[in-house]
Amino acid sequence: MKELTYKEMGLLDEEYQKIIEIMGREPNYLELGMFSVMWSEHCGYKNSRPLLKNFPTEGSQVIQGPGENAGVVDIGDGQALVFKIESHNHPSAIEPYQGAATGVGGIVRDIFTMGARPIALLNSLRFAELDDARVRELFSGVVAGIAGYGNCLGIPAVGGEVYFNPAYKGNPLVNAMCVGLVNTDEIALAVANEIDSPIMIVGAKTGRDGIHGATFASEELSESSQSKRPSVQVGDPFMEKLLIEACLQLIKEDLVAGMQDLGAAGLTSSIAETASKKGLGVEVDVLQVPRREQGMTPYEVMLSESQERMLIVPRTGKEERIKEIFDKWGLDAVVIGRVSGDGMFKVYEGEELVGAVPVMELTEGCPVYVRQGQKAEYYQRCRAFDINSLPEEKPEPALRKLLASPNIASKRWVFSQYDYQVMTNTAIVPGDGDAAVLRIKDTSKGVAMTTDCNSRFVYLDPYLGGVLTVCEAARNLACVGARPLALTNCLNFGSPEKPDIYWQMEQAIKGMADAARELDTPVVSGNVSLYNETVEGAIYPTPVVGMAGLLKDIDYRCDMAFKDEGDLIVLLGELRDQLGGSEYLYVCHGIQSGAVPPVDIKNEKSLVEMLLSLNADGLCKSCHDISDGGLAVCLAESAIKGGRGFTVDFDFENKRTDGVLFSEAPERAVISINADKLKKVQELANSKGLQTQVLGQVGGKDLLFKNCGQEIIRMSLADAGQIWEEAIESLMK
C-alpha cells in the first residue's frame, strides 16, 4: 500500500504540529494513522461538539444520555429502550447495497453492545429524483441492502422515511436507526476499569477493508472518492447474528466488565474509547489479531474497518467461560492485549513496540473548531417570496399530482422488502400509522417509534425547520397513542467550513434543542455526518430525528385508517393556508421557496397532550397528523387505508383554496370518531385551549371536498388508491 501523507489522511498543518507537540517527536506512520482517524470529524466531532452542547440531554426518563454507544430511556417495570441513529452516506453513494447493509450492521452493534436485544430498525433515506436511472439504481440498491442485512438478523424494520429531491444528487443519505430492549440491571457499558484485565477480540477476522473509512466519511465526495473504493466493505449478516446471540449470552451471565463494537476507525477507536473512560492505558499485540489476509502491517490491522467484530473486556477469571460461549456459536474469541495503568496506547508486533500514543490525546485531545456562521444568501429571498403571485392550480389535478409524488405516495415498494413482522411484536405495521408500534411481550405496554425530517423546511429556515422536525416526530408518536420520551438525531449537513452551512447547523440545532426542551424529549444519542457535498453543492440540511415513545396500554393504539360509515371527521387545530416550502408548491409550480409556516411549540405540546388523552380514553377511531401534502392528502390517506370514502364540507373562510387543502403548517391532526363522542372531544379540546372543527363524515366511495356546500374535488376512492399505491412501483419498473 502506498504511504499517505498527513494531508492525504485528512489532517491540517496545525493539527500535525499539535501531534508533534504531544509526542515530543515526529509520529511514525502507525501513530500518525491512529491520530488521523481519531481526529476525523466522524470520530472526533471537531466541528460539531460545541454545537451539540446546546441539546437538552436530561430528564427523569433518561438513564443514559449521549456519550455511550447508544442512549437509554426508562419504560418502567425495570425495562429500558436503547436507541441510536447513524449515517452511512458515503459508503452507500459508492456501493449502495453493501454501504447500506453495513450501515445497518454498525448501528445494530451499537445497540447490543449496550446489552440490549435489538427489537426494531428504522431508516431515513434521501435521493435525487427517480427519473434518473442512476438514482433508481442507488435507491433499489440501498433498500435491498437494508433488507438483505436486517432480514437475515431477524430484526423487524418497522419504520422510516424516504424523500426524493434534486438536492441529494450525487450525495444520497442513508441513516439507520436501531432500537433495543434491555433490563435496566443488565445495561453494559464500554469501559475497561481494571489494570491487567485482558482485552479480547471476537467475531470476524480482520482484513484490509475500510482502512481510513472514518476519514473518507469526513470528506466531500469527489472524483478521487472513486479511487478510495476499496474502502467499501462487504457485510456478513450471518456472522453478526451469531455475535448478537453470543454477546447477549455474555451479558446474561454477567461475564464482561466492558464491551465495545468495532466501528469507524476499527481497533484504534474502540480500544482508545474503552481505555480512556477511566484514564487507563492499553497494550495490544497485532500478531494476536486473527486475520483474513496475509502480510498485514500493524498500521493495516489497527485501522481496518472490517465488519462484525467486537472488543470485550472480561470480568476477572471469566475468559474461559467466554470462549466456551463463542465456541458454541462457532466464533473465535482471542486475547489480544491487556489494560495497563500508564495511560499509553502501546501497539506491539510480537515483542517489538511499533507505536505508543497517549490514550487521552487520541480521544479528548482532538482539536475543536468553533466557527463563525453566516446567514445564507438565499434565506431572505426565499422568505420574501410572494406566494400570492402564483395562480391557484385546480384542486383536483393538484391532489392527483400530490398523491403521485414519490414523496407522498405509498412506500410499499420499500417496506415490503423489509421483514417488518419478525419477532412477533409489530402491532402497527409500516404504512398503517404515523409511527410504528410494538408490543412488549409479558406486559400490557407498547412502544412507538418514528424518524422524521422535512429538509426543505430546514433549508428554507434552519431554525424553524429544526423546531418542526422535532414537533413532527412528537406529534407522530402521540397520533398512535404513545407519549414521546426522548430522541436521537443524525445531523447530515454540507461542509462546516463554509459559513452558510455552519449557520444552517447552528440554527437547526438551536431549533431542535428548543423544541426538545419544551416537549420534554431530551436528546440521548446521535451522530453527525458532515461534508455531504459534491461539486454541485451541498445537500439540503437534513437533521433527522428518531424518536421513541411509550404506550401504557397497547390496546389503546391508534392507526390512520377510517373505520366506519358515519364516523365524524374532526380537525384538531386550525385551518391554515401557509404554503411556503410545501410539496404542493414544488409539484404544481416547480418552486422550493417561501416562508416556512411558523410554529408555536407550546401549542404543539398541547396538541400532543390532547392526542394522548383522546387515545388513552379510546376516543379516536383513526388519527393522522397533517404534514406532507397538507389536509387534503391527510384525508385521502386515511380514506385509502380504510377503504372508505368521505365527504367534508366546511367554510374555507377567506383563505386560498390551495392553501387550505395543501398547507403543511404544523400543530394539526385529523381524527375520526363515533358521532356520540363529539362532545367529549370538544370539552377536552377546550380544556387544552385547542380549536376543533368537524369537517365531515366517513362514508361512500368518493373523496368529496366541499367549500360551504360547493363541490371542489370529487375523486373516486379506487382512483386515488391506485395513484397513491402505484406511483413508486411504476417508476421503478
Partner 1 sequence: MKFGIIVFPGSNCDADCLHVMKNVMKQESEYIWHQESDLSAYDAIILPGGFSYGDYLRTGAIARFSPIMSAVVDYARQGGLVIGICNGFQILLEVGLLPGAMLRNRSLKFICDTVNLKVRQANTPFSNKLEEGQIIQVPIAHGEGNYYCDEKTLQELNDNKQIIFTYCGPEGEESLEYNPNGSLANIAGICNEKGNVLGMMPHPERCSEAVLGGTDGYKIFASMLNYLEEVGR
Partner 2 sequence: MFKAIIYVTLKEGVLDPQGEAVKKSLHVLNYEGVDEVRIGKFIEVWLKSQDEETARRELEDMSDKLLANPVIEDYRVELMEVV
Ligand X SMILES: Nc1ncnc2c1ncn2[C@@H]1O[C@H](COP(=O)(O)OP(=O)(O)O)[C@@H](O)[C@H]1O
| 8-state DSSP, 553 | -
**Which residue in the set 23, 130, 287, 429 belongs to the binding site for partner 1 (CB under 8 A)?**
429
**Which residue in the set 37, 39, 61, 68 belongs to the binding site for ligand X (CB under 6 A)?**
68
| Residue 43 Cα distances to 35, 215, 567, angstroms | 11, 9, 53
Residue with cell 473504493: 229
Report what 154 binds from partner 1, Mg ion, partner 2, none; CB cut-off 5-8 Å by kind: partner 1
CB nearer ligand X, residue 68 or residue 74: 68
Neighbours of 222 (CB within 10 A): 13
| 8-state DSSP, 619 | -
**Which residue in the set 197, 525, 529, 707 belongs to the binding site for ligand X (CB under 6 A)?**
525
**Subset of residues 102 to 121 that bind Mg ion, contact rule: CB under 5 A:** 110
Question: Grid coordinates in use for 432?
Answer: 398503517
Please indicate whether residue 624 is annotated as part of the active site. Answer: no
**Which residue in the set 18, 46, 84, 668 belongs to the binding site for ligand X (CB under 6 A)?**
84
CB nearer partner 1, residue 238 or residue 378: 238
Q: Write out the E strands in 88-186.
A: 117-127, 157-164, 173-183
Residue with cell 428504522: 122
Question: Grid coordinates in use for 505?
Answer: 447547523
**Which residue in the set 94, 187, 234, 423 belongs to the binding site for partner 1 (CB under 8 A)?**
423
Report what 207 binds from ligand X, partner 2, Mg ion, none; CB cut-off 5-8 Å by kind: partner 2
Check residue 368 for interaction with ligand X (CB under 6 A): no
Nearest distance from residue 290's CB to ligand X, in Å?
22
**Which positions ≥6 away from 267 have C-beta within 8 Å?**
201, 206, 284, 289, 301, 302, 303, 304, 311
Check residue 523 for interaction with ligand X (CB under 6 A): yes
Does residue 300 sit in helix, strand or coil?
helix
Nearest distance from residue 529's CB to ligand X, in Å?
9
Check residue 51 for interaction with ligand X (CB under 6 A): no
Nearest distance from residue 510's CB to partner 2, in Å?
39
CB nearer ligand X, residue 237 or residue 263: 263
Q: Write out the E strands in 135-255.
A: 157-164, 173-183, 198-203
Check residue 251 for interaction with partner 1 (CB under 8 A): no
Neighbours of 230 (CB within 10 A): 11
Nearest of 587, 19, 618, 721 to residue 357 by alpha carbon: 19
CB nearer partner 1, residue 22 or residue 422: 422
Cβ atoms of 557 and 479 within 8 Å: the answer is: no
Check residue 105 for interaction with ligand X (CB under 6 A): no
What is the spatial distance between Cα 335 and Cα 319, in angstroms, rounded to a whole number?
9
| 8-state DSSP, 460 | H
Check residue 308 for interaction with Mg ion (CB under 5 A): no
Nearest of 588, 632, 586, 625 to residue 604 by alpha carbon: 625
Neighbours of 356 (CB within 10 A): 18
Nearest distance from residue 86's CB to ligand X, in Å?
6
Question: Grid coordinates in use for 451?
Answer: 424518524
CB nearer ligand X, residue 425 or residue 525: 525
Residues in the chain: 733
Check residue 420 for interaction with partner 1 (CB under 8 A): yes
Q: How many CA atoms lie within 13 A of 286 on its CB side?
A: 26
**Which residue in the set 151, 489, 525, 593 belongs to the binding site for partner 1 (CB under 8 A)?**
151
Residue with cell 468495532: 262
Query: Which residues in this chain contact partner 2 in the complex, by CB under 8 A?
Result: 94-95, 98, 204, 207-209, 229-230, 232-234, 236, 238-239, 292-293, 306-307, 330
Angle at Cα 495 formed by Cα 362 and Cα 162, nearest 5°? 105
Cβ atoms of 163 and 407 within 8 Å: the answer is: yes
Check residue 307 for interaction with Mg ion (CB under 5 A): no
Nearest distance from residue 304's CB to partner 2, in Å?
11
| 8-state DSSP, 120 | E
Please indicate whether residue 88 is annotated as part of the active site. Answer: yes
Per-residue x/- track, 19-58, Mg ion (CB under 5 A): ----------------------------------------
Nearest distance from residue 138's CB to partner 2, in Å?
13
Check residue 148 for interaction with partner 1 (CB under 8 A): yes
Report what 208 binds from ligand X, Mg ion, partner 2, none; CB cut-off 5-8 Å by kind: partner 2
Check residue 504 for interaction with partner 1 (CB under 8 A): no
Check residue 183 for interaction with partner 1 (CB under 8 A): no
Report what 261 binds from partner 1, Mg ion, partner 2, none; CB cut-off 5-8 Å by kind: Mg ion
**Which residue in the set 417, 691, 693, 722 belongs to the binding site for partner 1 (CB under 8 A)?**
417
Neighbours of 534 (CB within 10 A): 17
Check residue 550 for interaction with partner 1 (CB under 8 A): no
Q: Which helix (H) or strand (E) holds 695?
A: strand 692-698
Check residue 436 for interaction with partner 1 (CB under 8 A): no
Check residue 209 for interaction with Mg ion (CB under 5 A): no
Angle at Cα 120 formed by Cα 119 and Cα 124, nearest 5°? 160
Check residue 285 for interaction with Mg ion (CB under 5 A): no
Site of interaction with ligand X (CB under 6 A): 43, 52, 55, 66-69, 84, 110, 263, 489, 491, 523, 525-528
Site of interaction with Mg ion (CB under 5 A): 69, 110, 261, 263
Catalytic residues: 42, 88
